[in-house]
Amino acid sequence: MSGYQTRQNAISAVTNYKPTTKPLNFAETSPAEVFGSNVFSDKIMKNMLPKDVYKSLMHTKRTGEKMDSSIAGPIAAAMKEWALSKGATHYTHVFYPLTGLTAEKHDGFLTPDGDGGAFAEFDPKLLIQGEPDASSFPSGGLRATFEARGYTAWDVTNPAYILENPNGTFLCIPTAFVSWTGHALDKKTPLLRANQAISKVGRRFLNLFGDKTDEMVISNAGPEQEYFLIDRNFYFARPDLMVCGRTLFGAKPAKGQELDDHYFGAIPRRVLAYMLEVERELYKLGVPVKTRHNEVAPGQFELAPLFEQANLATDHNQMIMTTLKSVAKKYGMACLLHEKPFAGINGSGKHLNYSLSTPSQGSLYSPGETPAENMQFLAITAATIRAVEKHGKLLRAVVASAGNDHRLGANEAPPAIISIFLGGDLAEIFNQIELGDLKGTKAIGKLRVGVDTLPALPMDSGDRNRTSPYAFTGNRFEFRAVGSNQSIAGAQVAINTMMAESMDYVCDEIEKLTKKKVKLNEACQKVIQDIMKKHGHVIFNGDGYADAWQKEAKRRGLPNLKTTADALPAIVDKEVIKMFEKYQVLSHDELHSRCEIYHEQYNQHIQTEADLVVKIATTIILPAAIRYQGELASTAASLKAAGVEPRISILQNITDKLRDLQKNTIALEKLLTTDTFESIEAEARYKTDKILPAMLAVREVADALEGVVADDLWPLPSYQEILFIK
């Protein structure tokens, strides 16, 4: 099918769009009624479980302590009864392998009774532990195939839920995925461990500042999910979109995003219908979706839920990604989660809003009313400054992927340089503390130093800096470097662990001084001053997109790891391993296996893209251009025969470009014949330094051809139509 025909199909799909099912009616069933209706919630458990069982389970959920195994029986029985009442025929242990995707294996409840009949059964053992035959998931050497067993273990902290399909429903049980040796093979296990670590250190920290409760310190996440929506006709007409999730070819449209008329504009009807259904599905699963709007690029949108505790927010973000994709089909569209589906058009990210909180204090990143609260706030912020400076490379590594490389540093997302933004007033206060001269700011007023008064801090939370990778936004930090397609688990594991280490450090240093009878508030200022001297250069409130920052960051000695190949090795830095082992979040072996897997994924990804560039250039673009060349040539011949001197400049242009296209494609093919490497790291280097530029060289000629070949002959739908027909 030619691009022209695809366009006709897409246009008719858009103009003739009619809902295929009965419209949703929120007046009949209110969102409040829908919300959580498919979740085996605490409330349902409270109703269905014996009192002591419920109490014991809640205790485990609240404290993170080990579950009493005797309560599994009654819980499994209640879960089964509830699931059957919801029409479930199967159950599945849902887990999150290192591919970043969601995995599930279904088992039926039905068991033969030996008399020709059958009954529904759910053995409590199967609730607690499963053994999916999942030997093909990456394990990075943690699990030899002959002992391929990996176990899924019930994560009691997140609720089970029902997923619907037009032909039935099934029960989903969230689980962790570990090898028989206990190594984490997934994204959830280290997150649970990191939550525990931050809670323990958080307690120590709060005790020091006078909060003597035993409340858990909870890490929270509010991920803002960006995505593209395009008509499905275009999706199927572009092998690059189908296979790689991004376009490997495509000239920049005449009308790009410069006019900004899409940003926060009215949402198109079909898209809004889609969003309403996405939200309704997510409500059922108890995902607190809150905001929706158009994003900067044409065809780009954002959905954000209210923040939740990290583990739940992570599962929910996976559900959001799955739902965005599956519902799109019903509306004749495709949802693209890739970080950079279209070159020259803003890509998609996932801002991760991060905070630590306790039930009674709320966010620990909220500046308080009293001097004591403020001291604690300044201390935790100082711990954050130290963590971000010390572990900038790690933060960069956990967002490294082939897709995200296109976005970071492309003046649409934060640069690859990890810095921290505090906003004017707060940065000023930290500067004053560094200089040992705390006098306050215009907004805050005069302060005295070394006595029991620390300022009341009205925060300029409106002071937003969109270019910073790690920005303070009033009561939380926003980590903006996460890719739209990535699990948020990796970033949170890193942040929680580095925060645990840094808060421990602050406690150690303060205690050293208070033991010498230095007053808490003086000790605190002294420690903050030291941190500022050592790590303060990571604070940057300016324009992160400016070239000047690249130079300034270099002068300050901040790393600028532009590609995945540059970034990934930080995962196995000596210091990083030491930290993760100290807090029992990830072991030496687990980190090395991750480093290996992520390299492999990167290499595989680039390999697939490069192969496809060759294929599309050779079998789709070249033939189209040759056809046009033939048309021009025969026109020229006819003109000549008719005695008219043909103007051959287009013909010459096409002929030159065709020669370049073939030359560049052959060059790429040749580079791809090298397939033995010293190490996976060396392979990643090669892919970054040699393959990617060679792919780009093919693309550049092809995109130039798109600008000259007759529109009805061009085989791939153009950016213009993909992005603007919706």
Written as one letter, the residue type at 561 is L
Closer to ligand ADP by CB, 331 or 365: give it: 365
CB 192 within 8 A of CB 178: no
Nearest Cα to Cα of residue 98 among 220, 190, 223:
190
Count the site residues for Mg ion by CB under 5 A.
Answer: 1
Q: Contact region for Mg ion (CB under 5 A) — 171-179, 258-266, 348-356, 637-645?
A: 348-356
Closer to ligand ADP by CB, 237 or 422: give it: 422
- Return the one option of Mg ion, ligand ADP, none that residue 306 interacts with (CB less than 5 to 8 A, by type): ligand ADP
Expressed in percent and rounded to 5, the helix, strand and coil fractions of the chain are 50, 15, 35
Supply 567's token pair.
């970034």
Cα–Cα dist 368/364, whole Å: 9
User: From the CB of 725, what's the least distance to ligand ADP, in Å?
Assistant: 27
User: From the CB of 349, what's the least distance to ligand ADP, in Å?
Assistant: 11
User: From the CB of 546, what's the least distance to Mg ion, in Å?
Assistant: 21
Closer to Mg ion by CB, 352 or 385: give it: 352
Query: Token pair 């948020």 is at which residue?
Result: 488
Closer to Mg ion by CB, 418 or 524: give it: 418
Q: What are phi and psi of 35, to 5 degrees?
A: -60, 125
Q: Contact region for Mg ion (CB under 5 A) — 346-354, 410-418, 431-439, 610-618?
A: 346-354
Closer to Mg ion by CB, 219 or 665: give it: 219
Q: Which helix (H) or strand (E) holds 633?
A: helix 622-641
Q: Contact region for Mg ion (CB under 5 A) — 345-353, 382-390, 550-558, 691-699?
A: 345-353
How do 362-363 and 308-309 pair as beta strands?
Answer: unpaired
User: From the CB of 488, what's the least distance to ligand ADP, in Å?
Assistant: 11
Report if residue 350 touches Mg ion, rule: CB under 5 A: no
Asked whether the CA dihedral 325, 607, 483, 594 is positive or negative, the reply is: positive
User: From the CB of 466, what's the least distance to Mg ion, in Å?
Assistant: 8
Residue nearest Mg ion, Cβ-based = 351
Q: Contact region for Mg ion (CB under 5 A) — 132-140, 160-168, 343-351, 455-463?
A: 343-351
CB 581 within 8 A of CB 588: yes
Indicate which single residue of 238, 351, 390, 657 sits in contact with Mg ion (rule: CB under 5 A): 351
Closer to ligand ADP by CB, 35 or 354: give it: 354
Angle between helix 371-390 and helix 520-535 axes, rounded to 10 deg: 30
- Return the one option of Mg ion, ligand ADP, none that residue 304 interacts with (CB less than 5 to 8 A, by type): ligand ADP
Closer to Mg ion by CB, 17 or 545: give it: 545
How do 300-305 and 362-363 pair as beta strands?
Answer: unpaired
Binding site for ligand ADP (CB under 6 A): 220, 222, 224, 291, 304-307, 353-355, 363, 475-476
Residue nearest ligand ADP, Cβ-based = 222
User: From the CB of 291, what's the least distance to ligand ADP, in Å?
Assistant: 5
| 618-677 positions binding Mg ion, by CB under 5 A | none
User: From the CB of 355, what's the least distance to ligand ADP, in Å?
Assistant: 3
- Return the one option of ligand ADP, Mg ion, none that residue 188 interacts with (CB less than 5 to 8 A, by type): none
C-beta pairs of 301-306 under 8 Å, 24+ apart in sequence: 301/226, 301/227, 301/228, 301/229, 301/267, 301/271, 301/275, 302/224, 302/225, 302/226, 302/227, 303/224, 303/225, 303/227, 303/275, 303/278, 303/279, 304/222, 304/223, 304/224, 304/225, 305/222, 305/223, 306/222
Cα–Cα dist 99/358, whole Å: 32
Closer to ligand ADP by CB, 2 or 363: give it: 363
| 103-122 positions binding Mg ion, by CB under 5 A | none
Closer to ligand ADP by CB, 353 or 664: give it: 353
Residue 306 is given by DSSP the state: P
Written as one letter, the residue type at 56 is S
User: From the CB of 12, what's the least distance to ligand ADP, in Å?
Assistant: 35
Supply 658's token pair.
């065709």
Angle between helix 520-535 and helix 424-434 axes, rounded to 10 deg: 100
User: From the CB of 468, what's the least distance to Mg ion, in Å?
Assistant: 11
User: From the CB of 357, what's the least distance to Mg ion, in Å?
Assistant: 18
- Return the one option of Mg ion, ligand ADP, none that residue 3 interacts with (CB less than 5 to 8 A, by type): none
Closer to ligand ADP by CB, 95 or 377: give it: 377
Closer to ligand ADP by CB, 82 or 227: give it: 227
CB 415 within 8 A of CB 500: no
- Return the one option of Mg ion, ligand ADP, none that residue 618 interacts with (CB less than 5 to 8 A, by type): none
Cα–Cα dist 335/327, whole Å: 9
User: From the CB of 302, what's the least distance to Mg ion, in Å?
Assistant: 9
Could you give the C-alpha distances from 552 to 274, 352, 543, 547, in angstroms and in order? 45, 26, 11, 9
Residues that bind Mg ion (CB under 5 A): 351
